[in-house]
Structure 1
């Protein structure tokens, strides 16, 4: 049994158990949202705010990755799928995409690193192993330690699509399973470099400009900053009355304000 099929079974079991054991006998309409762990925290915030004024609706949000969101929606296990990557033509089949926002991907280094700017080509060659010392890009004579996310991460998928071309992240890269783990690794190692979500940046690490453009809400909005990815909702067929109501609310001023607070750029 492959991992993808196991994942589908886990999602299905979680949904069935929720139906059986969460507030049995309660009268409400249920919306299941499944997919990207990058989109998940934002949707949990949106769902919490929406259901506070819609007591007849319950929204259950589960992760599993963008691929899981696509498959679960296609198979009818989720009312709404979540993806933080662009879908292929095959993945798009029979699905409607609704982009709710976009987010920057930040190249991060230690605060002790004197590098301020890198080109896309330099970033690619650092991550694929062609550049191994910071002095090769104008920095100190120090070995570069590449920190990356795990295979299947939406952040990694978007980074690879934009930066890596036909090359791959080097095998010796240190793999971390979350944005926070990447930040901790980079913060504690003067030679490290990694990529993290713009929404999760703080003073623990230093952001690097890309081709002379710093990551900011302005440069992500006007697409001057090229390292960015979409936050997408996926629907199969006609959404239910209640799912449609939730989707409409997300695009409202109230929903848009929450998206902005989470450092995601709203898309009308």
Structure 2
């Protein structure tokens, strides 16, 4: 009888071990800007921690915050800071405000076709183009051709950041073509000689990044790592991960520490974003 019980216990333990082979499941949802980087982080972390399974999906920053508050994701990737209404919803859902982690820096690039002769714009000129006030490239030193504006869907944190910090709250041009992700914006601009779009600096392959001037009196600055880290490039931001404080322990806490450490920040640079200064990693 003892042998049978021992066998059953051993079998039960075996099933428990099998069932918990991926007990440290981590779900990540949110910003499309961060999705490629988050996937690279997940792949690298799972390679060094085989018992951890990390599932990454995009959908936009707003979608990520909605998932965080309804507890269908552990981590929310965000390309902007949490809004007061989103924070209130999270407090209502799990009793505390989410913990915010800065995970890297990003220069928000303005893309045009490689065939477009325009090389630089002021922030005001960019705002006028995307709001529809400026409609022809000749108004900003380019060809006599209508400007095609490519933008993001309004659930995108990049859309909201650009609207707040570049358009100063103004609406995008009614003619702006809404694209489902930064990669789609980039692809459209690369094929359209008269197109213009915006997105993370890491997505720049295939199109030209314009140098941006803060105003008419300042130099045009390119969105390089040095210029972003020093605050010289005028359109930059932190990218974030948010988590329910109750979940910020165990493997999730280890993962968040890892991605903000040397290994995780090396991947940031490999993907094309800019690592956090060491003073911001703790």
TM-score (norm 2): 0.81
SS at match of 1:229: strand
User: What residue number does 1:166 align with?
Assistant: 169
CA RMSD of aligned residues (A): 1.8
1:98 Cα shift?
0.4
Q: Which runs of 5+ in 2 are unaligned?
A: 1-16, 89-96, 214-219
- Residues 36-68 of structure 1 show CA distances to partners (whole Å, capped at 9, x for unaligned) of 122122111111111111122111122222112
Contact 1:74/1:95 (<8 A) preserved:
no
Counterpart check, 1:208 vs 2:210: yes
- Residues 215-257 of structure 1 show CA distances to partners (whole Å, capped at 9, x for unaligned) of 1111111121121232211111231311011111112211111
Q: Which runs of 5+ in 1 are unaligned?
A: 1-22
Contact 2:163/2:169 (<8 A) preserved:
no
Larger C-alpha radius of gyration, 1 or 2? 2
Counterpart check, 1:25 vs 2:19: yes
Q: 1 CA distance for matches of 2:227 and 2:87?
A: 28
1:199 equivalent among 198, 202, 208: 202
Aligned residues: 245
1:168 Cα shift?
1.0
- Residues 119-146 of structure 1 show CA distances to partners (whole Å, capped at 9, x for unaligned) of 1111111111111111111222222111
User: What residue number does 2:73 align with?
Assistant: 78
User: What residue number does 1:234 align with?
Assistant: 242
Contact 1:158/1:228 (<8 A) preserved:
no
Contact 1:70/1:81 (<8 A) preserved:
yes
Contact 2:186/2:203 (<8 A) preserved:
no
User: What residue number does 1:153 align with?
Assistant: 156
User: What residue number does 1:257 align with?
Assistant: 266
1:75 Cα shift?
2.7
Q: 1 CA distance for matches of 2:261 and 2:139?
A: 49
Q: 2 CA distance for matches of 1:76 and 1:187?
A: 38
TM-score (norm 1): 0.85
Counterpart check, 1:69 vs 2:64: yes
Alignment of 1:1-268 (within 5 A): 25-28=19-22, 29-93=24-88, 94-202=97-205, 204-211=206-213, 212-238=220-246, 239-267=248-276, 268=281
SS at match of 2:55: strand
Contact 2:63/2:155 (<8 A) preserved:
no
